[in-house]
Structure 1
Amino acid sequence: MNVKRYTIYLIEDEAAKSCFGQEVLLYKLFLKGQADVSPQQTIIKKQISYITRLIPVLTIHSRLQEKLGGLNGYEMKDNHIIFCPDSRAELRIYYDHIVLLANGSLEAETMFFEILRQVESCFFAMNFQNHHFGWLSPIKTKKNGVKFG
């Protein structure tokens, strides 16, 4: 089965507002940050560090336990894992990003995305293999500016 890998960053509110409608530029920055060798690698890493926030690790662990603790097919060992009849997803939480590995139908990965969406409004997810990217919570616009969640 083909495993999808999402890398998820928590973007600073002001940076998210600035990137509204220009998500492809944000994706390209992170894509360049994935490159092993680049003369600009130090600058790119600093740019990524500047626009991202630390992941609220304990809050996410707590919310996952609260929402999924009684679910048949949920395990927490080193990582959080959901097994569904047609899918499997594993969430790995680090201090600066999150990795979601998923295969099968969208059911298991969607459960993780829904919970992350409830924790913070500025998570940006990228699947570099398939060039897919986007906000976990859609950014809503108002007449007088940008509003989140």
Structure 2
Amino acid sequence: MRTYQIFLVKEEVAKQYFGRELLIFKLFKEYKQTKSVDMLTLLKKQINFITEPISVFNLEYIIHKQLRHDARYEKLPQAFVVADRQEESFAKLHLATSYITLEAYGTYEAETLFFEVLRQNCPYFLAIDFENSQYGWLAPIRNRKYV
């Protein structure tokens, strides 16, 4: 099973750290692994500084609106599910104000559907798979070029 935590990074931070996502990943990873209470407090402040709270109500509405006609989609009381038996693909999305959790297994079809909905509605989501040390923006951020 693949598990992603998806964070909403502040726009200015996302633009400044585009191409240097490893630094953000290391911050979150250190937070997950630290046992020191003082260090946890410090790291949490840093994480709160670079992230924004997620509007759960807004995102629930957007996800349901965009996926409600898809036969593979189901809204559960605390989560959203996309299951495709033919493709052997399953993904479950849980929303919280601090981050989104996406659990998936099988082919990538179901999780890609959720990633696409999130990407279309906010370009500053950063997905992290801590188990496999993978991370990346759901929507690549383009830097403005001034002439």
**Cα distance in 2 between the residues matched to 1:18 and 1:26:** 11
Alignment of 1:1-149 (within 5 A): 3-38=1-36, 39-77=38-76, 78-85=78-85, 86-144=88-146
Q: Does the CA-based 8 Å contact 1:9-1:98 persist in structure 2?
A: yes
Q: Does the CA-based 8 Å contact 1:88-1:102 persist in structure 2?
A: yes
Query: What is the count of residue pairs matched by the alignment?
Result: 143
SS at match of 1:137: coil
Question: Which structure dedicates a bigger proportion of its chain to strand?
Answer: 1
Quote how far apart the aligned CAs of 1:115 are. Answer: 0.3
**Cα distance in 2 between the residues matched to 1:20 and 1:91:** 25
Report which stretch shifted further, 69-78 or 125-134: 69-78
5+ residue gaps in structure 1? none
**Cα distance in 1 between the residues matched to 2:121 and 2:44:** 25
What's the Cα RMSD here? Answer: 1.4
Q: Does the CA-based 8 Å contact 1:59-1:119 persist in structure 2?
A: no
Q: Does the CA-based 8 Å contact 1:80-1:91 persist in structure 2?
A: yes
What CA deviation, in whole Å up to 9, does each residue of 1:12-39 have, x standing for no partner?
A: 0111122122110010001011125034
**Cα distance in 1 between the residues matched to 2:117 and 2:16:** 25
5+ residue gaps in structure 2? none
**Cα distance in 2 between the residues matched to 1:36 and 1:25:** 16
Q: Does the CA-based 8 Å contact 2:15-2:143 persist in structure 1?
A: no
**Cα distance in 2 between the residues matched to 1:65 and 1:21:** 32
What TM-score do you get using the length of structure 2 for normalisation?
0.92
Q: Aligned letter for 1:11? A: V
Quote how far apart the aligned CAs of 1:70 are. Answer: 1.6
What TM-score do you get using the length of structure 1 for normalisation?
0.91
